[in-house]
Amino acid sequence: MDKDNRGARILIVDDDPDLCSFFESGITQLGVKTKSITKSLQVIDELKAEFYNVVFLDIFMPLKSGFDLIPDIQKYSPDTKIIIITGMADKEIAITALRLGAFDFLEKPVNLELIFHSTKRALESQRMEIKYRKTQATLDQAQYDLLEQKDSLEELNRKLIETNRALTIMAQNMSREKEETEKSIVLKIRSLIIPIIQQLHYDKNLEKYKNQLDLFIRQMEALTSGLATDIDIATSLSFSELRIACLIKEGLTTEKIASHLNISPCTVKTHRKNIRRKLGINNHDFNLRSYFSERLKNSDNYKEKLAIS
């Protein structure tokens, strides 16, 4: 007997005790457990008490026929395979039994070889069906888990998108607030700090600091006027580059800027290249003066709006 069928249980149901004994002694040789009963009304109680892999069932029995028992067996033990045995070789009987759900049909007298063959086929079919159901159940569970994970991932993705959108809006608001704050500081320096320093400049008690205050005022005016009010430009360029940018905006050539600042034209050209690089002006045909004038115009419009508000 195949090792996969060891431990299988076989039930023989026939009102002929001799036939039951014949089946029991023969099937036992397969290495399976067997039991026989001669009363049809005991079948369901037996199936409720114990699982049987195969039931050999006689068709014509007193009180309840094999035809009537097939649906009951399937109800209480759906995995059990039913093999019909009958002494009447009738094609219609066989067809009816198979339609009702019987696995096989054997005609009396039955030799042991046919019994062995039918039993093995029934056990193999049963094992494959049970294996298939378990595999299908595993696949169904896996599919359910995948759908659950898919729903979870979609929900997580939705929350990430919402979070990213919120962070983007927050970053934009912070950037606008930063720019407005920086521009507000520049305007306040010009309207509050510089006038105070100018008053100190004319204070006779601070006469000896006049030159230092003078220099300080010029530096503050340079840092808070013209292109210096454009925060992007002011924070991107060094003080020397900012001074040269202001002179470029005024229309001075490289030679005139060099003369005005007492530096070499080569140094001015280097600063111009650095200004373009830092401000992302990659097109060398683009006029720097026009660029700075447009930026300053936008900055002045902002000041007017801020002053009105």
Q: What is the pTM of this model?
A: 0.49
Bridge-based pairing state of the strands 104-107 and 33-37: unpaired
Instruction: Check whether residue 98 and residue 191 sit in a common domain.
Output: no
Q: Which residues contact 104 (CB under 8 A, 6 or more apart)?
A: 81, 83, 84, 118, 121, 122
Distance, CA of 30 to chain centre: 54
Residue 82 lies in a domain: yes
Instruction: Check whether residue 194 and residue 93 sit in a common domain.
Output: no
Residue 148 lies in a domain: no
Instruction: Check whether residue 226 and residue 122 sit in a common domain.
Output: no
pLDDT digits (tens, 9 = 90+) for 96-154: 888 999 999 888 888 888 899 999 999 999 889 888 988 888 888 888 888 888 888 88
Structurally, the chain folds into a number of domains equal to: 2
Provide the CATH number for the domain around residue 106. Answer: 3.40.50.2300
Instruction: Check whether residue 210 and residue 283 sit in a common domain.
Output: yes
* CA-CA-CA-CA dihedral for 172, 178, 181, 184, to nearest 10: -80
In the predicted structure, residue 23 carries a pLDDT above the cut 70: yes
Residue 125 lies in a domain: yes
Q: How far apart are the first and last CA of the chain?
A: 98
Instruction: Check whether residue 240 and residue 303 sit in a common domain.
Output: yes
Task: Give the number of other Cβ atoms within 10 Å of residue 170's Cβ.
Answer: 10
CA distance 152 to 146: 10
For residue 306, what pLDDT is reported? 45
Instruction: Check whether residue 46 and residue 125 sit in a common domain.
Output: yes
What is the span of the domain harbouring residue 256? Answer: 180-308
Q: What is the DSSP letter of 58?
A: E
CB 248 within 8 A of CB 257: yes
pLDDT digits (tens, 9 = 90+) for 248-295: 887 888 998 888 778 899 998 999 999 888 888 887 777 888 888 887
